[in-house]
Chains A and B, each alone.
Chain A
Amino acid sequence: MVAFDVGRVWGVLVRRGLAQARLVGAARETLPPGALKPSPHERNLLRPAEVRDAVHAVCAQLGLAEGQRADLILPAGIARPVLFDPPAGDTTPDSLRFRLANALPYAASEAVVGTIPVPPGRVLAAAARRSVVAEYEAIVEAAGCKPRRVELAPLVAFAGLLARPLPARALDVVLGEAAVSLARWEHTGLATFRTRLRTVSRDDLAWLAAEIERAAQTDGQTSFAAVRLAGAGACALADHARANGREALLAWDLAQPPSGMEPAEIAWLGGVLR
């Protein structure tokens, strides 16, 4: 499984058992600044050769043979997931495309759409531009692997988080290097969901803390039980929240994480190891 984000490429080997998946290997390569820039409609791999080399190095570290199949996890920022109630439970690709069309900065016919179920009866849907997905598939192929499934990091992360519901007025925050998704829980499950792009130049922690406060507001009042964090910068943001009197949890941990890996800093990890 090869996962991309702005500054790094992760490769993980996952063994799926009957009950749960298990992480059996992990490798990471850092990308040079500007090599990958997630965007919903523009070219993402600005320096493809460097991204390809990073993927190749990750595959080599994991001992993947030439032509071995790999699933891809694309970074936050290439799609903006939306939480909604599908009319009459209709989640066919055409219906989703129609529902998401207005928010897409490209023709709906170019969208590849997908959902994850959000009990009770709602879905978290996202659309990715076909040409953007194809870029990542091509780079993995160029690195010697055979691309198979393609998933989106925020959807994988929420698949893991939804399996462990939070109490009402709690927040889930999934941090990608390019975008952050915030979801508020109510008694009936996920109540709101929104995604914001992250900007490197501003004071990221303060901005994220302000976004969390805003996401927690209902009827003009801030009131929330706790915040659960996963993804790039989760540990620092948890410390920041605790310092400001908020209860903050890290979404996942591993008993024996591979060296150099902080599980909570990888947004999609809990979803992959479900």
Chain B
Amino acid sequence: MTADFSTRRHIGRPRLVDLLLLAFGLTALGWSALAASSARRDLETVRAAVQQFRASAGEEEKRLRELEDRRHDRTDPLARQAVQTLASPPPRILADLEPTVPAGARLEALTLTYGHEAVELELTLLARTPETYDDFVARVERSGLFGDLAFGSENRTGEMKVTLRARYRPEEGS
């Protein structure tokens, strides 16, 4: 086809190739719309999850702030106990206790009681010799992490099995 010299306005009949291109274009458009819609749905899901996470994080933060406030509030022992639990978890106490046990001694039992003011420890130590036991006591005192030490009955002949009470004081440690 060359230049159109027609004096009338007319809409040309589309050629097969035009129709094919149109069909291809419409298919591509439809596919793009579907992809865009799917992407939008994904985005909304992720946004909702982020929103939920933020809300949850906000609640946790609020709860922690409340606990912190209640920690300083001496009229709320329950809160202080909860804060103690958060601040001095058992693994941390065990980790602090471990360097105080010398070779030739071992912990037989350990009981932790989370009180309103501090964490109470009751431990049973088995020492091969009285010297080893003395070494343990010296290390415990040197660490400064344990206070209000109360020793049980001692039998200083050969192997010793002693029960000992103490308070965990991490803020005073060396």
**CB-CB nearest in chain B for A93:** B3
Cβ-based interface call for B148 (8 A) = no
Give A16 to B17 CA distance when docked, in angstroms. Answer: 9
Give A147 to B9 CA distance when docked, in angstroms. Answer: 10
**In the complex, how many angstroms separate the beta carbon of A117 from the nearest chain B beta carbon?**
10
1/0 per residue, CB under 8 A from B, across A1-37: the answer is: 0000000000000001110000000000000000000
Give A48 to B158 CA distance when docked, in angstroms. Answer: 141
Interface size on A, residues (CB 8 A): 27
Whether the pair A150, B2 counts as a contact (CB closer than 8 A) is no
**In the complex, how many angstroms separate the beta carbon of B16 from the nearest chain A beta carbon?**
7
Q: A18-B17, A155-B2, A156-B2 are in contact. Are A149 and B12 (CB under 8 A)?
A: yes
Whether the pair B2, A16 counts as a contact (CB closer than 8 A) is no
The one of B10, B15, B17 that contacts A148, using a Cβ cutoff of 8 Å: B10
Give A139 to B4 CA distance when docked, in angstroms. Answer: 18
**CB-CB nearest in chain B for A114:** B3
CB-CB contacts below 8 Å: A122-146 with B: 126, 128, 130, 133-134, 137
Chain A residues, CB < 8 A from B12: 148-149
Q: A112-B7, A147-B8 are in contact. Are A18 and B16 (CB under 8 A)?
A: yes
Whether the pair A133, B7 counts as a contact (CB closer than 8 A) is yes
Query: From DSSP, what is the main secondary structure of chain A's interface residues?
Result: strand
Q: How large is the interface on B (under 10, 10 to 19, 20 to 34, 35 or more residues)?
A: 10 to 19
Cβ-based interface call for A238 (8 A) = no
Whether the pair A114, B16 counts as a contact (CB closer than 8 A) is no
**In the complex, how many angstroms separate the beta carbon of A72 from the nearest chain B beta carbon?**
8
**In the complex, how many angstroms separate the beta carbon of B102 from the nearest chain A beta carbon?**
93
Whether the pair B2, A151 counts as a contact (CB closer than 8 A) is yes
Whether the pair A151, B8 counts as a contact (CB closer than 8 A) is no
Chain B residues, CB < 8 A from A114: 2-5
Q: Between A and B, how many residue pairs show CB distances below 8 Å?
A: 59
CB-CB contacts below 8 Å: A71-127 with B: 72, 74, 112-116, 126
- Residue from B1, B5, B17 having most chain A Cβ neighbours under 10 A: B5
Whether the pair A151, B13 counts as a contact (CB closer than 8 A) is no
**In the complex, how many angstroms separate the beta carbon of A51 from the nearest chain B beta carbon?**
18
Whether the pair A133, B6 counts as a contact (CB closer than 8 A) is yes
Chain A residues, CB < 8 A from B13: 69, 148
Chain B residues, CB < 8 A from A69: 13
1/0 per residue, CB under 8 A from A, across B37-53: the answer is: 00000000000000000
Whether the pair B5, A74 counts as a contact (CB closer than 8 A) is yes
Whether the pair B16, A150 counts as a contact (CB closer than 8 A) is no
**In the complex, how many angstroms separate the beta carbon of A102 from the nearest chain B beta carbon?**
20
**CB-CB nearest in chain B for A274:** B1
Whether the pair A128, B5 counts as a contact (CB closer than 8 A) is yes
Cβ-based interface call for A271 (8 A) = yes
Chain B residues, CB < 8 A from A130: 7
Cβ-based interface call for A216 (8 A) = no
**In the complex, how many angstroms separate the beta carbon of A116 from the nearest chain B beta carbon?**
5
Residues of A within 8 A of B (CB): 16-18, 69, 72, 74, 112-116, 126, 128, 130, 133-134, 137, 147-152, 155-156, 159, 271
Residues of B within 8 A of A (CB): 1-8, 10, 12-13, 15-17, 20
Can you give 5 A-B contacts (C-beta < 8 A)?
A72-B6, A130-B7, A137-B6, A137-B7, A148-B6
